């Protein structure tokens, strides 16, 4: 008997899903919501979909569907309803009252998953901030049971309203405290980025569960948690990525995106997403074997725009190609996205091509110069090496001719330094440097 009671206690809650047809189309419209439910340790007992021209202000879905949803909840003995949409506070309250169990919308579910996955102090603060901002406009519904105590005139407000005001004040104070603490993390992130200003920065971005962490581990030799579940990664990890032809390149693995990512979460995770905003190149990792490739890519691009990273150079990387049996399907993706790289982070397929493409990108962002330095000015030779990447050098009894590859951001500094030192600086071709190499 004790064993049976224990099993009942640990049994995950059971939910009914409902959504609006047309967001992703087809009978699998609620598949992603089911995946989110699984990530939140919630079982799925039933599904309900309605085609709507526009949501109803009171209950989002029509009255007939509300009754159908209530009957489905009873038939499935569900303890929860998960909505694949964002509900207003009034819609959530009205639906909860109508179906008899708590109704949780998409944003609240995603924030719950983030709360479960948060491991670092920063991630926990970011999730709590997002949850409190989400909760604030919904506080009023928490105290409707005290309405009967309210008075009828000025100065006779009942304890329900007083409690609501107290809660709002406490929540707003906590929000202010969290924002102040997160500003410390943001300043730390900015300092870290400033300290890596000379390095080439690449960020992995993409829909959740597309294999970013597996790829990160492959490329950097890290042991980042990489499991087949939504939102396994919530904080940013940065490591050196040894790419032939690229000196000092760092790679960042970031939190995965999802369609309709709650804006409170995007705002709260600003410091974490700063690695993407400050990157020189974003690798958009796409699960090529997924059922909704186009929709997931659009969701990622929307989020990149929301965080201010839309103008950063982006390279599309189709991952998990080892899971695609139909070569025509893969070719159709490549035709729709010319220039994309095809890889499998699990097997290592295509990783050399990816490295070559990244190296080629950074080479394209540089210019090559030849600088002539008198042989006795060894310090000037050392400083030149700090301003650019040494390609080749050639010396005689009087001077050293050095060929440097210089990033666009450093060209003005190199020219100013050369002019102040009275050194001859002129554009060069890489072939010139190779021809003059002392090797």
In a domain, 12, yes or no: yes
What pLDDT is attached to residue 315? 96
| 202-225 pLDDT, tens digit each | 999 999 889 998 999 999 987 755
In a domain, 409, yes or no: yes
| 226-278 pLDDT, tens digit each | 555 566 666 678 899 999 877 788 999 887 888 777 777 777 676 667 778 88
Rounded Cα distance, 316 and 282, in Å: 9
What pLDDT is attached to residue 5? 46
What pLDDT is attached to residue 272? 65
Q: How far is CA 334 from CA 3, 203, 288, 340, 424, in A?
A: 55, 22, 10, 7, 47
**348 and 369 share one domain:** no
**25 and 123 share one domain:** no
Rounded Cα distance, 341 and 351, in Å: 9
314-320: average pLDDT: 96
Rounded Cα distance, 193 and 195, in Å: 5
**288 and 430 share one domain:** no
Buried/exposed 60-79: b ≥16 CB within 10 Å, e otherwise = bbeeebbebbbebbeeeebb
311-329: average pLDDT: 92
Average pLDDT in the chain: 81
In a domain, 302, yes or no: yes
**204 and 232 share one domain:** yes
307 pLDDT exceeds 70?
A: yes
354 phi and psi angles, rounded to 5 deg: -60, -45
**356 and 372 share one domain:** no
Lowest mean pLDDT among 143-147, 295-299, 300-304: 143-147
Rounded Cα distance, 229 and 209, in Å: 6
**128 and 7 share one domain:** no
Identify the band that residue 22 occupies on the pLDDT scale cut at 50, 70 and 90.
Answer: low
Paired sense of beta strands 399-407 and 366-374, if any:
antiparallel
281 pLDDT exceeds 80?
A: yes
Tell me which of 435 and 18 has the higher pLDDT: 18
In a domain, 109, yes or no: no
Are the beta carbons of 292 and 333 closer than 8 angstroms?
no
Rounded Cα distance, 346 and 321, in Å: 10
Task: Give the total number of structural domains in the chain.
Answer: 4
Domain containing residue 419: CATH number: 3.30.70.240
Domain containing residue 343: CATH number: 3.40.50.300
Could you give the strand order of the β-sheet that contains 14-20, starting from the edge strand earlier in sequence? 43-50, 14-20, 80-83, 102-104
320 pLDDT exceeds 70?
A: yes
Identify the band that residue 153 occupies on the pLDDT scale cut at 50, 70 and 90.
Answer: very low
- Of 362, 397, 412, the residue that ends a domain is 362
- Of 104, 123, 142, the residue that ends a domain is 104
155 pLDDT exceeds 70?
A: no
**273 and 289 share one domain:** yes
| 51-104 pLDDT, tens digit each | 888 889 999 998 999 999 999 999 999 999 999 988 998 999 999 999 999 999
What pLDDT is attached to residue 95? 94
Domain extent, residue 15, equals: 2-104
Q: Which residue, among 238, 263, 258, has the nearest Cα to 134 in the 3D structure?
A: 263
In a domain, 376, yes or no: yes
In a domain, 293, yes or no: yes
What pLDDT is attached to residue 431? 53
**243 and 322 share one domain:** yes
The top-scoring range by mean pLDDT among 312-326, 367-381, 393-407 is 312-326
In a domain, 341, yes or no: yes
**218 and 341 share one domain:** yes
| pTM exceeds cut of 0.85 | no
Tell me which of 231 and 408 has the higher pLDDT: 408
What pLDDT is attached to residue 268? 67
**80 and 208 share one domain:** no
**92 and 211 share one domain:** no
In a domain, 77, yes or no: yes
**239 and 339 share one domain:** yes
| 341-399 pLDDT, tens digit each | 999 999 999 999 999 999 999 888 888 999 998 888 888 888 887 788 888 888 888 89
- Of 315, 345, 362, the residue that ends a domain is 362
């Amino acid at each position: 008997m004790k064993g049976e009671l224990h099993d009942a206690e640990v049994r995950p809650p059971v939910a009914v899903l409902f959504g609006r047809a047309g967001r992703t189309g087809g009978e699998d419209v609620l598949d992603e919501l089911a995946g989110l439910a699984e990530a939140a340790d919630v079982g799925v007992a039933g599904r309900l979909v309605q085609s709507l021209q526009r949501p109803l202000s009171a209950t989002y879905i029509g009255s007939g569907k509300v009754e159908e949803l209530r009957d489905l909840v009873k038939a499935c003995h569900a303890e929860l309803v998960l909505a694949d949409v964002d509900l207003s506070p009034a819609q959530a309250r009205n639906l909860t009252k109508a179906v008899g169990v708590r109704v949780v919308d998409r944003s609240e579910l995603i924030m719950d998953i983030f709360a479960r996955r948060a491991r670092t102090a920063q991630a926990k603060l970011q999730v709590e901030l997002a949850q409190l901002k989400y909760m604030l406009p919904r506080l009023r519904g928490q105290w409707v049971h005290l309405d009967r105590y309210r008075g009828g005139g000025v100065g006779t407000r009942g304890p329900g309203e007083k409690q609501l005001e107290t809660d709002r004040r406490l929540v707003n104070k906590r929000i202010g405290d969290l924002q102040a603490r997160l500003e410390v993390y943001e300043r730390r992130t900015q300092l870290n980025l400033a300290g890596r200003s000379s390095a080439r920065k690449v960020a992995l971005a993409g829909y959740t569960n597309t294999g970013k962490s597996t790829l990160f581990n492959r490329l950097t030799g890290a042991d980042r948690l990489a499991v087949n579940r939504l939102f396994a990664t919530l904080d940013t990890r940065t490591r050196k990525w040894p790419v032939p032809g690229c000196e000092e390149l760092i790679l960042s693995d970031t939190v995965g995106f999802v369609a309709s990512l709650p804006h409170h979460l995007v705002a709260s995770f600003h410091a974490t997403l700063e690695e993407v905003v400050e990157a020189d190149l974003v690798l958009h990792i796409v699960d090529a074997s997924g059922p909704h490739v186009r929709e997931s890519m659009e969701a990622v691009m929307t989020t990149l725009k929301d965080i201010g990273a839309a103008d950063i150079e982006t390279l599309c990387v189709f991952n998990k190609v080892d899971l695609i049996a139909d070569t025509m399907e893969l070719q159709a993706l490549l035709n729709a996205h010319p220039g994309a790289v095809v890889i499998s982070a699990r097997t290592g397929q295509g990783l050399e091509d990816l490295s070559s493409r990244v190296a080629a990108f950074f080479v394209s962002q540089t210019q090559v110069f030849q600088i002539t330095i008198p042989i006795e000015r060894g310090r000037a030779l050392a400083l030149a090496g700090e301003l650019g990447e040494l390609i080749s050098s050639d010396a005689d009894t009087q001077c050293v001719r050095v060929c440097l590859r210089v990033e666009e951001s450093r060209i003005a500094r190199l020219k100013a330094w050369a002019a102040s030192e009275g050194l001859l600086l002129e554009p060069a071709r890489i072939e010139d440097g190779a021809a003059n190499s002392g090797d």
